[in-house]
Amino acid sequence: MKKITVVELFAGVGGFRLGLERANKNAFDFVFVNQWEPNEKMQHAFNCYVNNFGNENAINENIVDAKNKIPNNPDLIVGGFPCQDYSVAATNAKGIEGKKGVLWWEISWIIENKNPRFLLLENVDRLLKSPSSLRGRDFAIMLIRLHKLGYNAEWQVINAADYGMVQRRRRIFIFIWKQSESKYKKSIFEKHFKSTPKIEPVEFDLIDEYPNEIDASNNYKKGKFLNKGTFINGIVRMYDYNPVFNGKKKILNDVLLENFDKKYFLSNEQIEKMKYLKGKKSIERIRPNGEKYFYTEGSMSFYDDINKQARTIITSETSMNRSTHIIKVKNKYRFITPIEAERINGFPDNWTETIASEKKRYFCMGNALVIEIIERLAKSIIDLF
């Protein structure tokens, strides 16, 4: 079989590549890899990538400048395009109008000018309902653009834990193919991410209602997109679904280290701070117009249940944050280690060990994806060639 040529965008520490190569290391030829973190002197993720995969065809430049170097007609483009402007963990989320969100238009340029056969993209599930003032508008604009470029798409929001993986991490995966593609007849999600509809599918002609991106930008009123759907020749068909999985589910305890450095234990001061952060609270605040209101948060468990699947890894693990993981060890409490963060995402131990700062190691894992999702999808993609 001829190798599948791959362009990897926004590569991070290499999660997409690791997943693809686990499915079949000999099936893929990475002809272009790009990773660039703006406003960072040290390119930690890129250096980690090169340490694990080598620097062949790897470019550490802003994609705005590097995109012209992408070879024409790649078989597959993959990438988790930056999600800071979409994530519910960030404030003032702005969707594709955000600082990093505009990189969608770089992807659009690459599709138009480099002519890929397929694409597999990943983002936070908030994309389907962004921005908050016009829910669904941003995804509608993306679909309309794809249609104009001659492509169809399907998507599924996947919570890795629903399909047996150790982490409760919800992300949207979007598979894109040419409208002229004859081999794509069966969803890549169908084999490894089975589901049943919760509701009758919603169907409408997006292009008939919004012929172009500007029209959607100014007038979109259809509301958010649902968790699973297709966009074929301008027609949206979508529904929310129930996952179907009958295998064994991994739990947090499966990936915890028996031996770890004592530095990961919380001090008494940190314990008290965390109890406050994770506790129930109602705080009086004042709006810019002088109006008073109460900011409220419900309580959450102080430490994580190791007999359940892990919560979502965050970029600021070990910081004083209510979402930080805490493990109870007898009568003490500790943070998760960098190796455990790697395991929760499915990376090999010490994948990020060349990154000198542990905070940056956690940051990279908080931005990474769950490897096994890509591995499973890759098996279906290989069948297309």
Q: What is the DSSP letter of 132?
A: T
Q: What pTM was estimated for this model as a whole?
A: 0.92
Does a structural domain hold residue 189?
A: yes
Does a structural domain hold residue 54?
A: yes
Check whether residue 261 and residue 361 sit in a common domain: yes
- Residue in 121, 117, 110 with CA at minimum distance from that of residue 177: 117
Q: How far is C-alpha 65 from the geometric centre of its chain's CA atoms?
A: 24
Q: How many Å apart are CA 38 and CA 41, to the nearest integer? A: 8
Check whether residue 356 and residue 375 sit in a common domain: no
Check whether residue 235 and residue 277 sit in a common domain: no
Q: How many helices (H) and strands (E) does the chain have?
A: 11, 16
Does the structure show a pLDDT above 50 at 262? yes
**Nearest 5°: CA angle at 158, between 156 and 163?**
130
Does a structural domain hold residue 376?
A: yes
Number of C-beta neighbours around residue 251 at 10 A: 16
Check whether residue 357 and residue 220 sit in a common domain: no
CB 373 within 8 A of CB 245: no
Residues in the chain: 385
Check whether residue 216 and residue 266 sit in a common domain: no
- The confidence score (pLDDT) of residue 83 equals 47
- What range defines the domain where residue 35 resides? 4-246+370-383
Does a structural domain hold residue 319?
A: yes
- The enclosing domain of 289 has a CATH number of 3.90.120
Q: What is the DSSP letter of 371?
A: H
Does the structure show a pLDDT above 60 at 93? no
Angle separating helix axes 44-53 and 358-367, nearest 10 degrees: 80
- The confidence score (pLDDT) of residue 92 equals 46
- The enclosing domain of 11 has a CATH number of 3.40.50.150
By three-state DSSP, how is residue 301 classified? coil
Check whether residue 200 and residue 112 sit in a common domain: yes
Does the structure show a pLDDT above 70 at 241? yes
Average pLDDT over residues 317-341: 97
Check whether residue 202 and residue 273 sit in a common domain: no
Does a structural domain hold residue 291?
A: yes
> Mean pLDDT lowest for which of 3-17, 149-163, 205-219, 342-356?
205-219
- Residue in 74, 67, 234 with CA at minimum distance from that of residue 151: 234
Check whether residue 240 and residue 283 sit in a common domain: no
- List Cβ neighbours of 271 (8 Å cut-off, separation of 6 or more): 333
Write out the two tokens for 176: 């894109």
Split at pLDDT 50, 70, 90, the class of 133 is confident
Split at pLDDT 50, 70, 90, the class of 88 is very low
Check whether residue 52 and residue 94 sit in a common domain: yes
Does the structure show a pLDDT above 50 at 87? no
- Taking only the tens place, the pLDDT of each residue in 15-31 is 999 999 999 999 999 99
- List Cβ neighbours of 161 (8 Å cut-off, separation of 6 or more): 167, 168, 169, 249, 309
Does a structural domain hold residue 354?
A: yes
Check whether residue 13 and residue 114 sit in a common domain: yes
Does the structure show a pLDDT above 50 at 13? yes
Does the structure show a pLDDT above 60 at 236? yes
> Among the options 33, 78, 83, 314, which is catalytic?
83
Average pLDDT over residues 80-94: 46
Does a structural domain hold residue 251?
A: no
What's the Rg (C-alpha) of the chain?
A: 21
Average pLDDT over residues 260-282: 96
Give me the percent of the chain exceeding a pLDDT of 70. Answer: 95
- The confidence score (pLDDT) of residue 101 equals 52
**364 is known as an active-site residue:** no
- The confidence score (pLDDT) of residue 105 equals 84
Check whether residue 261 and residue 323 sit in a common domain: yes
Does a structural domain hold residue 145?
A: yes
- Residue in 132, 126, 129, 136 with CA at minimum distance from that of residue 222: 136
- Residue in 370, 368, 352 with CA at minimum distance from that of residue 360: 352
Q: How many Å apart are CA 131 and CA 110, to the nearest integer? A: 24
Check whether residue 99 and residue 204 sit in a common domain: yes
Torsion of Cα atoms, 220 then 225 then 230 then 234, to 10°: -10
Q: How many Å apart are CA 131 and CA 145, to the nearest integer? A: 17
CB 138 within 8 A of CB 124: no
Q: How many Å apart are CA 34 and CA 128, to the nearest integer? A: 26
- Please tell me the total count of domains within the chain: 2
